[in-house]
């Protein structure tokens, strides 16, 4: 037990340290075995198609190899990294904002991180990108690549009860909110180099190219994304059963 806890004399800490039982030697190997099984199930369910979980998984792996940092926006990108990124011995540093709606200033924060000179990837959805588009005026030559998953609106809401409870047209108006601005055109308007990808090989090639300031990833629609998440979760449950 650390001297910090000893010096503070918390009774429950003292009791836990005094009375703790020996750890189960099978606990760690069990979890390691389950991790291998879960990762295999995720790989199998993802296949070789371009998708939001696949983008998060590949970006996490590449950032670790390059010793790069990741700035991730809230909603689905953050969840896809947490759920589907592969456990690595030396993972990349991942940062995120949590403002009024978790969408505030994602582009600006990514550029601020890149201003330290460290290669930075920003993983965000189309709405998060457009919400902080004015941050692009400070892009210049910073070592930052924005990876924008263009799924036509707020993907997180398709996972919530209102997706089934609200009539489709009203759901799109209130929650889906598909943007009317083209992500690539907006970025080019600020002078950014843009690479638009629709397949997994194209995305992998763009990630390994230091040139594009923005990679617009055209991923399947929001209903297809929900179905994919369900199939991944089902595959993992079966692998661990």
> pLDDT, tens digit, for every residue of 29-51?
999 999 999 999 999 999 999 99
Residue 231 class from Cβ within 10 Å (0-12 exposed, 13-18 middle, 19+ buried)? middle
Instruction: Please name each of the domains of the chain with its CATH number.
Output: 49-226 (3.40.50.970)
Distance CA 53, CA 65 (A): 19
Q: Tens digit of pLDDT for each residue in 112-146?
A: 999 999 999 999 999 889 989 999 988 888 999 99
Q: Are 73 and 107 in contact (CB under 8 A)?
A: no
Tell me the pLDDT band of 1, cut-offs 50, 70 and 90: very low
% of the chain residues with pLDDT over 90: 59
Query: What is this structure's pTM?
Result: 0.84
Asked if pLDDT for residue 5 goes beyond 80, the answer is no
pLDDT value at residue 41: 96
The per-residue pLDDT for 198 is 93
- The residue among 78, 83, 192 whose CA lies nearest residue 124 is 78
Instruction: Write the CA distances from 181 to 37, 47, 87, 237, integer angstroms.
Output: 42, 31, 36, 39
pLDDT at 84: 94
Q: Are 81 and 72 in contact (CB under 8 A)?
A: yes
Confidence of residue 13 (pLDDT cuts 50, 70, 90): confident
Mean pLDDT of 49-63: 94
Closest CA to 43 of 26, 17, 61, 63: 61
Strands (DSSP E) contained in the chain are 69-72, 94-96, 120-125, 144-150, 194-197, 214-218
**Mean pLDDT value across residues 152-172:** 83
How confident is residue 22, by pLDDT bands cut at 50, 70 and 90? confident
Range scoring the smallest mean pLDDT among 40-49, 91-100, 215-224: 91-100
Region 79-102: what's the mean pLDDT? 87
State how far the Cα of 73 lies from the Cα of 96, in Å rounded to an integer.
6
CB 69 within 8 A of CB 119: yes
18-27, 172-181, 212-221 — most confident range:
212-221
In this predicted structure, what is the pLDDT of residue 234?
Answer: 97
Looking at residue 171, its pLDDT comes to 81
Please, what is the average pLDDT of the chain? 88
Residue carrying the six token digits 């179905």: 227
Quote the percentage of the chain above a pLDDT of 70: 94
């Amino acid at each position: 037990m650390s001297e910090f806890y000893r010096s503070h004399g918390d009774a429950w800490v003292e009791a836990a340290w005094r009375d703790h039982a020996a750890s189960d030697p099978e606990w760690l190997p069990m979890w390691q075995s389950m991790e291998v099984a879960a990762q295999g199930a995720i790989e199998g369910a993802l296949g070789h198609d371009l998708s939001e979980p696949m983008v998060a998984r590949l970006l996490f792996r590449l950032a670790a190899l390059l010793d790069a940092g990741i700035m991730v926006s809230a909603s689905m990108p953050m969840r896809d990294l947490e759920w589907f990124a592969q456990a690595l011995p030396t993972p990349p540093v991942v940062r995120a904002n949590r403002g009024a709606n978790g969408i505030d200033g994602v582009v600006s924060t990514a550029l601020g991180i890149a201003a330290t000179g460290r290669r930075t990837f920003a993983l965000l959805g189309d709405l998060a990108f457009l919400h902080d588009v004015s941050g692009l005026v400070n892009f210049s030559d910073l070592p930052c690549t924005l990876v924008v998953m263009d799924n036509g609106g707020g993907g997180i809401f398709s996972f919530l009860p209102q997706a089934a409870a609200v009539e489709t047209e009203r759901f799109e108006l209130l929650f889906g909110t598909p943007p009317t601005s083209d992500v690539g055109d907006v970025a080019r308007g600020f002078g950014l180099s843009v690479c638009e990808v629709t397949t997994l090989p194209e995305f992998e090639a763009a990630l390994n190219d230091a040139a594009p300031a923005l990679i617009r990833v055209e991923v399947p629609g929001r209903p297809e994304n929900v179905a994919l998440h369900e199939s991944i979760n089902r595959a993992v449950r079966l692998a661990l059963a």
